[in-house]
Homo-oligomer: A and B are copies of this chain.
Amino acid sequence: MSASPIQTDPLSSAERDAVYKCIFNRRDVRGQFLPDPIPDEVLGRILRASHHAPSVGFMQPWDFIVVRDPAVKRRVWESFQTANREAAERFDDQRRPIYRTLKLEGILEAPIGICITCDRKRSGPVVIGRTHQGEMDLYSAVCAVQNLWLAARAENIGVGWVSILRHRDLRAALDIPSSIWPIAYLCVGYVSHFFARPELETAGWLPRVPLREVLWFDQWHNRSGSETLLDHLD
């Protein structure tokens, strides 16, 4: 008798609907973090879900750094502050004042940060599936980010991805060696509420793109032949 069965059960329609609820209600959280600690068993589940992301050639190239030390968080936050001031200058006169009003991170408020990295040499020089697309290891680590994000949402825990950071500053704050690629710094914690829509959509920064405008059939920019699918997009 094997410890694991060969096959797995199908998901029920109720389980399917739960997955969609999680996907559609996931938000990038910046300002609604509560200080409540995340129990170890909950954090353990979220990390396990992230670790079960797909990875090219089963490479599992990720590491996780859980940040709880306020001094470390402050270093990351200071790096964000520097980068964010520079970022504001890059927007035009019309966008810049709006940009400056946006809250774009919750580094200090979130009870923990989680940095996900990619070790590009994890499983040796030749990796199945990476021979012709060298970036696949980085993409695997991004899949781990998205798994973590959805698992957290399933636990009613918010996640915000802070990308207004220089990699070299993040490496310095967390003592990450130069051989390791930072992928994401995530703010993680319980929240007062989840918004129904992305904040940048609500703020009028950009609209949701209609799905039918980015959907093609058989060839780039070909729309013919699949009108019935287009009826099921909204």
Interface residues of A (CB under 8 A from B): 4-11, 14-16, 18-26, 28, 40-41, 43-45, 47-49, 51-54, 56-60, 62-69, 72, 83, 86-87, 90-92, 95, 99, 102, 104, 123, 126, 128-133, 135-136, 138-139, 142-143, 145-147, 149-151, 153-156, 161, 163-167, 174-177, 180, 183-184, 193-198, 200-201, 205-206, 208-209, 211, 214-222, 226, 228-229, 231-233
Q: A145-B143, A174-B220 are in contact. Are A6 and B195 (CB under 8 A)?
A: yes
* B176 x A220 contact (CB < 8 A): yes
* B136 x A139 contact (CB < 8 A): no
* A200 x B57 contact (CB < 8 A): yes
* B48 x A10 contact (CB < 8 A): no
Q: Chain B's nearest CB lies how many Å from the CB of A44?
A: 3
Extra 5 A-B pairs, beta carbons < 8 Å, given A4-B196, A67-B217, A175-B221 = A44-B232, A51-B214, A63-B220, A135-B138, A142-B143
Query: Closest 10 interchain pairs by CB?
Result: A44-B232, A18-B18, A15-B18, A19-B154, A58-B200, A146-B146, A87-B131, A142-B142, A16-B154, A7-B193
Q: How many identical subunits does the complex contain? A: 2
* A87 x B11 contact (CB < 8 A): no
Can you list 14 residue pairs at the A/B interface with Cβ under 8 Å? Answer: A5-B196, A7-B193, A11-B156, A19-B22, A24-B52, A54-B146, A60-B208, A63-B215, A64-B214, A65-B218, A66-B216, A69-B218, A87-B132, A174-B220
